[in-house]
């Protein structure tokens, strides 16, 4: 179980998240949707503590960290929780001087101290999973955006994280390349990978997520299954957001 309880995040006087609570049973996918500036990416980054919540608590499995203003959480505690997550970024962030397989191996070798042979075997297994084994020795600059993002997904999965976090995984891609990434994430979801993703891509959210959380102004406006949120939202703010994207019931697969 992954639980965020009463998460508040402030940058100075600016309150970016206000008492946000989300629970994610293991093996499920939660999609965070909403307008730009609504708090989606900040909430996602609070899960693995790339952003430290001002107050509230984060639970991943049996590990719980509680935050309050003026109280510092120890680095060892942060690392223990962070190592249970894998992060997929919007702009891939592959090492340009490493091949695809070396990018996937990097964390296993340098952080977990795996032998190179074992790390390479694990990396090749994951590249096969995301359909990139044939590009194992390719440099990132020679790969399309969709291919780079699939390598980035393999890299995030390498240490077997408890939850995969995806921050706008398709937004830097054109529709055809984005479809490659949607297919990979959909396959991972069917295999039971626990995921939380911030996305503007409602096709991705509708096809992959078990639950959609609509955020606006740093608060949860509405949450529920994709079919309900995209086809029959209850809140007026949600209805306006969905209407602005011209989403119809046919959009939800």
Strand partners, 128: none
- For residue 130, the enclosing domain spans 93-160
Total structural domains within the chain: 2
182 and 219 within one domain: yes
78 and 9 within one domain: yes
pLDDT by 10s per residue, the chain, length 253? 899 999 999 998 899 999 999 999 999 999 999 998 899 999 999 999 999 999 999 999 899 999 999 888 899 999 999 999 999 998 888 999 999 999 999 999 999 999 999 999 999 999 999 999 999 999 999 999 999 999 999 999 999 999 999 999 988 888 888 888 999 999 999 999 999 999 988 888 988 999 999 999 999 999 999 999 999 999 999 999 988 875 443 444 4
Distance CA 202, CA 159 (A): 29
54 and 24 within one domain: yes
Contacting residues for 64 by C-beta, under 8 A, at least 6 apart: 57, 58
CATH code of residue 11: 3.40.50.300
Is the whole-model pTM more than 0.85? Answer: yes
Strand partners, 195: 29, 164
218 and 126 within one domain: no
126 and 57 within one domain: no
Instruction: Give ∠ CA 146-155-136 in degrees, rounded to 5.
Output: 65
172 and 73 within one domain: yes
230 and 240 within one domain: yes
């Amino acid at each position: 179980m992954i639980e965020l309880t009463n998460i508040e995040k402030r940058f100075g006087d600016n309150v970016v998240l206000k008492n946000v609570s989300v629970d994610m049973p293991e093996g499920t996918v939660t999609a965070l949707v909403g307008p730009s500036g609504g708090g989606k990416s900040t909430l996602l980054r609070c899960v693995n503590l790339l952003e430290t919540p001002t107050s509230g608590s984060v639970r991943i499995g049996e590990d719980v960290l509680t935050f309050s203003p003026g109280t510092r959480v120890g680095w060892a505690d942060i690392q223990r929780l962070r190592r249970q997550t894998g992060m997929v970024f919007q702009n891939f962030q592959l090492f340009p001087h490493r091949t695809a397989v070396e990018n996937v191996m990097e964390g296993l070798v340098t952080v977990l101290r795996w032998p190179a042979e074992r790390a390479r075997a694990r990396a090749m297994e994951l590249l096969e999973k995301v359909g990139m084994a044939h590009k194992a020795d390719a440099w990132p600059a020679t790969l399309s955006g969709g291919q780079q993002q699939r390598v980035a997904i393999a890299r995030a999965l390498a240490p077997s994280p408890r939850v995969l976090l995806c921050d706008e995984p398709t937004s830097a891609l054109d529709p055809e390349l984005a479809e490659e990434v949607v297919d990979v994430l959909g396959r991972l979801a069917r295999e039971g990978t626990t995921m939380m993703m911030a996305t503007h891509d409602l096709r991705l959210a509708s096809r992959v997520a078990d639950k959609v959380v609509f955020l606006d102004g740093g608060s949860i406006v509405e949450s529920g299954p994709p079919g309900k949120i995209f086809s029959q939202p209850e809140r007026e703010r949600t209805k306006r957001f969905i209407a602005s994207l011209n989403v119809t019931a046919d959009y939800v697969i």
